[in-house]
Structure 1
Amino acid sequence: MDFRSDTVTKPTLAMRDAMARAEVGDDVYGDDPTVNDLETWAAERHGFEAALFTTSGTQANLLALMSHCERGDEYLCGQQAHNYMFEAGGAAVLGSIQPQPIENNPDGTIDLAKLKAAIKPDDFHFARTRLLSLENTINGKVLPIDYLKQARAFVDQHNLKLHLDGARVYNAAVALETDVKDIAQYFDSMTVCLSKGLCAPVGSLLLGTKEYIAKARRIRKMLGGGMRQAGILAAAGKLALTEQVAQLKIDHDNAKHLAYGLNELPGFFLNPDWVQTNIVFAKLDETVDIYSIASQLKQENIIISPGNPIRFVTHKDITRTDIDLLLQKLSALI
């Protein structure tokens, strides 16, 4: 049992079979039919002109930023944004793009007035503000549709582009009980991670206009992201989007069950009503030696990421029975 992240999901048997049987070519030449099918299908499915299959969400986000911004430009994002905090500073190091982080509100949104104040004047002393990047979900929280409408109006007013780090955008769509297009429609570009809760072994998609994706494809090659017989991976990626979305509702229900159980444990503090998708955070008091607990759990093949707050993530390979066993073990070890 691995509660660290939904990145640990194993591909389904259907994915393994599809990968073994995938028709392949050379994707750098553009003639891998399975990759081409995934990109064409995904673009239409999400309401964009074109799509690009990439090795990872980090690469997809980097391509997104570098395709919107030139050297010396700036993008606005949340202080908690993955492409600011957890992607090794790639935009700055490889794209010479300046991030301008703004504190996230408790619900994951960013105050539009603070964003407006952060836009740089048209003056050669400053980086040129080109882009607003949002993340949905962010730390398991779902950005409301009304906020996305406001963000679209904001970027249009200030002549910016709007990018969505949609690593878990399908979790957001499932939580909102809406189609993913209802979220995607507000953005100039969007990434979708196939290898988290959707269970593909490798890969993410970047979506945008044909011109934008052509630029991203060139940069992908520059960054060493050109792949050859990548249809083996793309075959699993399409099944992620066509067969695994329904699983996310189960993951969300399991996360809520876990949250209520954790809330009953001494030394664990959280509000289960704040758990919207498949990620649960709990604060711990000083009586809980979470590092010792994690070590003991690992001996029983239960893996958690110790910290305070501590994060638990539910996914396809975590069942309701697994959660009950985790809660039982935690209760005995506290």
Structure 2
Amino acid sequence: MFIDLRSDTVTKPTQGMKEAMFMAEVGDDVFGDDPTVTALEQKAASMFGMEAALFCASGTMTNQLAIKVHTQPGSEVICDKMSHIYLYEGGGVALNSFSSVKLLEGDKGRINAQQVLDAINNPEDIHQPVTRLVSLENTMNKGGGCYYRLSDIEAIREVCNKNQLPLHLDGARLFNALVETAEPTLTYGQLFDSISICLSKGLGCPVGSLLVGKKDFIKKARRFRKVLGGGWRQAGFLAAAGIYALDNHVNRLKDDHARARKIGDILKGLPYVEEIYPIDTNIVIFRLPESVLATAFVSKAKEKNLGCVTFGKHLVRFVTHLDFTDEHLAEFEKVIRQIQL
């Protein structure tokens, strides 16, 4: 048995999802003729109280489209130094939007209103780029799946309002946060100008992410999606998976979180575990001793049919997901205790 905890992107479609995909009514989405894509976009927009949505191939694409629409060449984007848009999207802020980033050091990736206020450049100072966008990430991948308190987001929103700045959310794992906080999606739609939602992580779809926002914003994003080669044809087969996931796979995220916490309990008793990040959702990050490289641990784990990834020189990450069952958890405990470093 291979226990794959490298990411929640490794999931396979469930039988119910496959059936929904197989039965999907499709058309040409570039022409606006795919009814299932349209239904998914309308469903997502409605969930967040937004005017429109755009179905794309990946969360990187939806994030980059949002940044492109919100900014102008020479702009600056405020975000945490551990943000996915900065670390893991191929320098897209610079390449696609010709903008720079102002990196803040938050609490495990969560920035606050005062930090945002202090980071806004004087628009009259010609030596500095013009601040055009604030971007948050929830849950925070590099922060071990931690999430924002709603009051902190509301305070950041107030700063953005006073300075006429749009606020974007990289919500790749937003539903992981929402099942923990029980906060409504409609509240998030009121706080953000745009939200990126990944369907192919905890929700278990094979492909796809959504970008939600106002009609004019999505219209511009659709044009840039085409420029990037993101226009697709009979995408309804994939959109059907997204509809199924939103209907069936949200509440079950709590199961992933419960198993992640059990992994944390197992790790506590191991001699090579120096620190475990707080486990808020489905991500488990732990620190090895200075004498042990994360690459060495990942290699040893792979030999035992356990998949994980390095998350720093001495950091290792596990991510639980819908294909990681109680049976896998029991096997994980056996395997992890066999690893010798």
Same fold (TM over 0.5): yes
Q: Structure 2: which amino acid aligns with 1:298?
A: K
User: Which residue does 1:324 correspond to in 2?
Assistant: 330
SS at match of 2:251: helix
CA distance in 1 between counterparts of 2:41 and 2:248 reads 17
**Match among 304, 315, 328 for residue 309 of structure 1:** 315
User: Which residue does 1:267 correspond to in 2?
Assistant: 272
Task: Provide closer, same or farther for how the CA distance between residues 5 and 96 of structure 1 changes in structure 2, counting only shifts above 3 A.
Answer: same
User: Which residue does 2:155 correspond to in 1?
Assistant: 150
CA distance in 2 between counterparts of 1:55 and 1:231 reads 12
Per-residue deviation at 1:157?
1.2
Number of positions where the alignment pairs a residue of Structure 1 with one of Structure 2: 332
Task: Provide closer, same or farther for how the CA distance between residues 209 and 42 of structure 1 changes in structure 2, counting only shifts above 3 A.
Answer: same
Q: Structure 1: which amino acid aligns with 2:121?
A: K
Q: TM-score, normalised by structure 2?
A: 0.93
Q: Structure 2: which amino acid aligns with 1:330?
A: I
Task: Provide closer, same or farther for how the CA distance between residues 92 and 293 of structure 1 changes in structure 2, counting only shifts above 3 A.
Answer: closer
Per-residue deviation at 1:299?
3.8
- In the TM superposition, 1:175-254 aligns within 5 A as 175-254=180-259
CA distance in 2 between counterparts of 1:289 and 1:194 reads 33
SS at match of 1:332: coil
Per-residue deviation at 1:185?
2.4
CA distance in 1 between counterparts of 2:113 and 2:260 reads 31
CA distance in 1 between counterparts of 2:299 and 2:118 reads 46
**In the TM superposition, what whole-angstrom CA distance separates every residue of 1:221-256 from its partner, at most 9, and x where no partner exists?**
111100011101101011111110122000000000
CA distance in 2 between counterparts of 1:95 and 1:171 reads 29
SS at match of 1:221: helix
Q: Structure 1: which amino acid aligns with 2:118?
A: A
Q: Structure 2: which amino acid aligns with 1:61?
A: N
The answer to which of 144-153 and 14-23 deviates more is 14-23
CA distance in 2 between counterparts of 1:280 and 1:299 reads 20
Contact 1:77 1:102 in 2 (8 A): yes
User: Which residue does 2:41 correspond to in 1?
Assistant: 39
Q: Structure 1: which amino acid aligns with 2:71?
A: C
CA distance in 2 between counterparts of 1:80 and 1:171 reads 19
Q: Structure 1: which amino acid aligns with 2:137?
A: E
User: Which residue does 1:81 correspond to in 2?
Assistant: 83
User: Which residue does 1:110 correspond to in 2?
Assistant: 111
Contact 1:203 1:237 in 2 (8 A): yes
Per-residue deviation at 1:200?
0.4
Residue 279 (1) aligns with residue 283 (2): yes
**In the TM superposition, what whole-angstrom CA distance separates every residue of 1:90-125 from its partner, at most 9, and x where no partner exists?**
11112112111111223x321332322221112333
**In the TM superposition, what whole-angstrom CA distance separates every residue of 1:9-65 from its partner, at most 9, and x where no partner exists?**
111111111111211111000111110111111101111000000010000000000
Q: Structure 2: which amino acid aligns with 1:318?
A: F
CA distance in 2 between counterparts of 1:146 and 1:64 reads 24
User: Which residue does 1:61 correspond to in 2?
Assistant: 63
Task: Provide closer, same or farther for how the CA distance between residues 79 and 294 of structure 1 changes in structure 2, counting only shifts above 3 A.
Answer: closer
Per-residue deviation at 1:329?
1.6
Structure 1 stretches of 5 or more lacking a match? none
CA distance in 2 between counterparts of 1:318 and 1:232 reads 25
| CA RMSD across the alignment | 1.6
The answer to which of 297-306 and 76-85 deviates more is 297-306
**In the TM superposition, what whole-angstrom CA distance separates every residue of 1:146-191 from its partner, at most 9, and x where no partner exists?**
1111111110111111010000000010111232223332101101
Per-residue deviation at 1:301?
2.9
Contact 2:257 2:281 in 1 (8 A): yes
The answer to which of 110-119 and 24-33 deviates more is 110-119
CA distance in 1 between counterparts of 2:211 and 2:237 reads 18
Contact 2:48 2:188 in 1 (8 A): no
Task: Provide closer, same or farther for how the CA distance between residues 38 and 83 of structure 1 changes in structure 2, counting only shifts above 3 A.
Answer: same
